Amino acid sequence: MFPNLEAEMARGKITQCSIALSLGITPTTFSFKLNGKAPISLKECVKIKNTFFPDKTLDYLFATDSDNKESA
């Protein structure tokens, strides 16, 4: 659902577990959020960006698959 976030996680070798831990949620819950099965809050997005990707924008990190198709 968030291909740019997943790509940056892979580049930085950042696991879903480490992000879940920083958010205070389970890795399963974070996986649901990544896959669109649960909503991700703006507060969580900002925390992920500031903690793990301070040099990236929220728009870039949390662009969805449909956002990318519309801009193509």
- pLDDT one-digit tens code per residue, 23-52: 999 999 999 999 999 999 999 999 999 999
Residue 34 included in any domain: yes
Whole-number pLDDT of residue 69: 61
At residue 67, does pLDDT exceed 90?
no
Whole-number pLDDT of residue 65: 78
At residue 72, does pLDDT exceed 70?
no
Residue 31 included in any domain: yes
Residue 70 included in any domain: no
CA count, 13 A, side-chain hemisphere, 24: 3
Domain count, the chain: 1
Boundaries of domain holding 9: 3-64
> What separation in angstroms does the CA of 40 have from each of 30, 43, 46, 71, 72?
9, 8, 10, 22, 25
Residue 23 included in any domain: yes
> Which amino acid does the sequence have at 26?
T
Residue 69 included in any domain: no
Whole-number pLDDT of residue 42: 97
